Structure 1
């Protein structure tokens, strides 16, 4: 739309800029202060409706992770920003490039604090965005979007926030927006990388930890090539939100424990610990110990100066994981003939004849049998993290979890991943394993899955309690904590009410049958699996 003098408006110029930047999918829940931005919505744009801003934010997060490109989120002034904050933290800690826009009251009224004013708008989302800005003039809005795009994408990537008064969109623009291109990789210091390579070559009994940055950087194949040439055991970092190494590889040895003492015991005996694309380490809960055992050194390579600065031990190098790994492969000698002890895989006996409630091992091992290799897995069943050993990740960009530790990301995150797959022309099923408590946080996201007929299978582990919190209560010696039981939830009926096919299974055979049917369904399926509570592994 143009104004009466046929001069392009701020809205015209901004939408043209978004087209150029290929930001034509907008995630949102429309509010009164955003309707001036959304009016006469262009036919070449897609609006993805979520029923609450927490879901909207996580959908955009999953979408951006699937496509590998920034995503645009539109929330409602300060109230909508507040709703979205929990999943905004996850996006920040997961380095997801998002442009979050929030409507603001009319400029002429802001000074008198009218209803729905986003007071101190640029302060509210801090510190969980890289940049927060409210343009000083309506004419500055397009340039603010261009800067937001650049800041969100440049490493370490992450969300940014724009607060835009609702009357800005009809104002005349100064002219077309200035379009810029920006780099999203930073190369490592060559001399320091050579020094690291020499120390790596000299190691006698090293181990490698590959973190989420590797998969996010598109460096999966480079990580495998480095590991095979170096010939050392490879571990996932603790509490990983992405998996960066095939878990069926001969060099794979599992996940670093999440406690200080547990990680130390794993590292003991290794003279060099090489951490690429991860924090050192993502610890939780607190179990005291030394950060690094005697006789061990640690090298950290990351694109994020914040987690480099926070490392309690070791020497760090900043650089994009893909560039680091590609150069390291050429700098190190061939150690592929290194002799390693065989991987120790504990035998687990599983009873698949029982009726519900089922053991978690029976459920996960069954899912391992029926899940196609090309599916994506979204994980938010926090009390069954140990059972992830059944569902091996063997392909890049196929494991996703929250980076913040807060629940409520997994259900909308799975919706976003499926939408991103569709946008990039990838045909695969998204399997979301969700706890019954987690499922309630953002349950409204399954409405969006149903409306878009997305290929998502939600497997809801219904143990009737917050099992992981009961485990923490034991660890922290806090008996008598209230609110840890979840009776009376009819998840199947709730899912049907949002438009999904849903079923509650009574045994393993029915689980396998319903899962296979869901793979061929025209839309999402919610499979509720009554399970036996089991203490979580907090080591």
Structure 2
């Protein structure tokens, strides 16, 4: 009688160990566009790891960024070697400035012949510049799981993208379970302001005769909003939002909200004139656009800054900087300052909705913004990428929740469309609408395929003026000559959206637009399919960057 065959015990691989790390840290949804250097990682993927495909790396990283902002948890990205990572550079830069934690795994050629520079071997170090919060090329295959674990902690602590480069043969290498995992299981990174620091801030605020509060994306949490409102109401502080912020740091329909700081220094001086103490929270001091000479604020003004971002802290022109989590810092500061009983009169920056256009008049972006502002619920997530009409959105669609406004703080186009998809995937109970210029939408139009394929119920409103309107206006300021770039009036967005699996409709009549938007918004929170509305608009007659 033959003896039964002994089945060999499977030898764990680096890939197995890495998957356990992903599970431990809640990185089970993978945003990716794969290439051959990632096939050893991705083939026969376990069922509990969800693969989300996007058709371009800009869409991959944009979707992951939206997901990270929606969940307040790091998102996982997998991209191909040099070409894939190169395609993703702009989106990774946006993730950094938008304070989005990402764990990015990048494929590399087989370690065993990298020295000979084989086909697809990438010179990856330095390709992303200084935008990653952490970058690692593990020295051995055994170090890959620990590198991924550390990337999660680095991304979470520093609120940005952490990158790990993994040669394709590393994944299938046997993993020694006795190998030292050079990364912690859990990191507590609560950064609370010291009582002495808060007392110093309170002393300045109590001594001020005319203080003001400036908020930014670093305060865009429920707790941050609650604490900022409580402090502003106790001190009767007018509140400004940072310029070009990715998210709002204060409810923009609050009576103390005074508007958006200008990115032009001459205008900024006028906004801040007379304030003797300026408290900035989760915002740089102060973000500019075109260079203008002169001071940003009164020479005798005292600037205080509370931020978690050490880079932001060290580059800001401030008298006192406190590096701490803004929400508990503001809550504790509120308990220390003296009550100001006299209410201030702050004129909210919102303007009345424009009258609907007459039958002979064109639809303008402000008409669309006014309709959305009236129809959308307070918990709607609005993603903006329409530079020529951003001022209309700010004035007609005030953000009423911490994710009520999301934008690319880096300024590069192509973020809005995929970010709206990721935001909806990360928070499927909240309605999401992306308001995009037609030029902006084209940067990542293929992202619509992911929305259609994965049944993501985002509403995309494309403002179709058939040109780069913001560039046209900037050119008009610089020269009387016509711009060098042509219009792009032959693009059929409805056909494009349909080819990518999305229902779409083109609208050029205001009455029809009103009816369609009313219907679309009514069930937006429950939508399971994307909807693309292409609205023909004429450029606004006014524009301010």
Task: Give TM class, smaller chain.
Answer: over 0.9
Query: Which one of the candidate residues 488, 501, 504 is aligned to 1:502?
Result: 504
What's the counterpart of residue 536 of structure 2? 530
Q: Would the alpha carbon gap of residues 270 and 25 (structure 1) be closer, same or farther in structure 2, given more than 3 Å must change?
A: same
**Equivalent pairs, count:** 531
Separation in 1, partners of 2:407, 2:509: 27
Q: RMSD of the TM alignment (CA)?
A: 2.0
1:70-89 map, 5 Å: 70-89=74-93
Cα drift, residue 398 of structure 1: 2.6
Q: Secondary structure at the match of 1:219?
A: helix
Q: Quick check: 1:128 aligned with 2:128?
A: no
What's the counterpart of residue 454 of structure 1? 456
Cα drift, residue 307 of structure 1: 1.6
What's the counterpart of residue 228 of structure 1? 233
What's the counterpart of residue 271 of structure 1? 276
Q: Quick check: 1:170 aligned with 2:172?
A: yes
Cα drift, residue 217 of structure 1: 7.8
What's the counterpart of residue 3 of structure 2? none
Q: Secondary structure at the match of 2:36?
A: coil
Cα drift, residue 111 of structure 1: 0.8
Query: Which one of the candidate residues 401, 407, 412 is aligned to 2:413?
Result: 407
Q: Secondary structure at the match of 1:290?
A: coil
Cα drift, residue 457 of structure 1: 0.7
Q: Secondary structure at the match of 1:377?
A: strand
Separation in 2, partners of 1:345, 1:529: 23
Unaligned runs of 5+ in 1: none
Q: Would the alpha carbon gap of residues 4 and 33 (structure 1) be closer, same or farther in structure 2, given more than 3 Å must change?
A: farther
Q: Quick check: 1:145 aligned with 2:148?
A: yes
What's the counterpart of residue 365 of structure 2? 360
Q: Secondary structure at the match of 1:33?
A: helix
1:87-486 map, 5 Å: 87-119=91-123, 121-154=124-157, 156-175=158-177, 179-216=184-221, 218-343=223-348, 345-347=350-352, 349-354=354-359, 357-388=362-393, 389-422=395-428, 427-477=429-479, 479-483=481-485, 485-486=487-488
Q: Secondary structure at the match of 2:171?
A: coil
Cα drift, residue 479 of structure 1: 4.0
What is the TM-score when the length of structure 1 is the normalising length?
Answer: 0.94
What is the TM-score when the length of structure 2 is the normalising length?
Answer: 0.93
Cα drift, residue 220 of structure 1: 1.6
Q: Which moved more, 1:167-176 or 1:495-504?
A: 167-176
Q: Would the alpha carbon gap of residues 355 and 440 (structure 1) be closer, same or farther in structure 2, given more than 3 Å must change?
A: farther
- Tell me if structure 2 keeps the 8 A contact 1:260–1:289: yes
1:441-476 per-position Cα deviation (integer Å, ceiling 9, x unaligned): 000111111112112111111111111112222344
Q: Quick check: 1:62 aligned with 2:60?
A: no
Separation in 2, partners of 1:528, 1:287: 38
Q: Quick check: 1:52 aligned with 2:34?
A: no
Cα drift, residue 122 of structure 1: 2.5
1:340-385 per-position Cα deviation (integer Å, ceiling 9, x unaligned): 3544655564233346741222221112222222211001011001
Q: Would the alpha carbon gap of residues 336 and 237 (structure 1) be closer, same or farther in structure 2, given more than 3 Å must change?
A: farther
